Chain A
Amino acid sequence: MSRPDAFPRGAAAIVGAATSGLGSSPGFEASDLAARASVDALRQAGLTPADVDGLFFCHSTDTFGGLSFAQYLGIHPRIVENSRSGGSAFQGYVELAAQLLHAGVIGTALIAYGSNQASAAGRLQTTVQPMRYEAPYRPIQPISPYALAASRYMHLYGATREQLGEVAIAARSWACLNPEATRREPLTMDQYLAARLVSDPLGLLDCCLVSDGGAAIVMTRADRAPDFADRPVFVLGAASETSHRDIAWMPDLTRTAAIEAGRRAYGSAGLGPSDIDVVELYDAFTINTILFLEDLGFCPKGEGARFVEDGRIAVGGSLPVNTNGGGLSCAHPGMYGLYTIIEGVRQLRGEVGARQVAGAQTALAHGNGGVLSSQGVVILGVEETL
Chain B
Amino acid sequence: MSAMTTGPDAEYAAFLAEGRFRLQRAPDGSYVFYPRVAQPGTGAPLTWCDASGLGEVYATTVVRRRPPEPSYNVALIDLEEGVRMMSRVEGIPADAVRIGMKVEAKITSDGDGHAVIFEPAS
Contacts and interface: CB of A to CB of B under 8 A. Distances in A.
B76 interface: yes
A277 to B, nearest CB: 35
Interface of B: 9, 33-34, 58-64, 72, 74-76, 84-88, 95, 99-100, 110, 113, 115
Q: Is the interface on chain A under 10, 10 to 19, 20 to 34, or 35 or more residues?
A: 20 to 34
B63 A138 contact: yes
A198 interface: yes
B74 A136 contact: no
The 10 closest A-B pairs by CB, nearest first: A148-B59, A147-B61, A200-B62, A152-B59, A136-B115, A155-B99, A134-B86, A133-B34, A248-B86, A199-B61
Interface string A133-148: 1101111100010011
12 contacts: A132-B9, A132-B34, A133-B34, A136-B110, A138-B72, A139-B61, A148-B75, A155-B99, A199-B62, A200-B62, A247-B76, A248-B86
Interface in A333-380: none
Name the prevailing secondary structure of the A interface residues: mixed
Contacts of B63: 138-140, 144, 198-199
Interface string A175-213: 000000000000000000000111111100000000000
B76 A197 contact: no
A373 to B, nearest CB: 15
A148 to B, nearest CB: 4
B60 A148 contact: yes
A355 B91 CA distance: 51
B61 A151 contact: yes
Nearest to B111: A136
A151 B60 contact: yes
A247 to B, nearest CB: 7
A198 B99 contact: no
Interface in A201-244: 201-202
A202 B61 CA distance: 9
A139, A196, A199, A248: most-surrounded residue (chain B CB, <10 A): A248
A178 B103 CA distance: 49
Contacts of B34: 132-133
B33, B59, B100, B113: most-surrounded residue (chain A CB, <10 A): B59
Contacts of A137: 74, 86-88, 115
A284 B1 CA distance: 44
Nearest to B87: A137
A136 B113 contact: yes
Contacts of A136: 110, 113, 115
Contact of B61 (A144, A196, A246, A249): A144
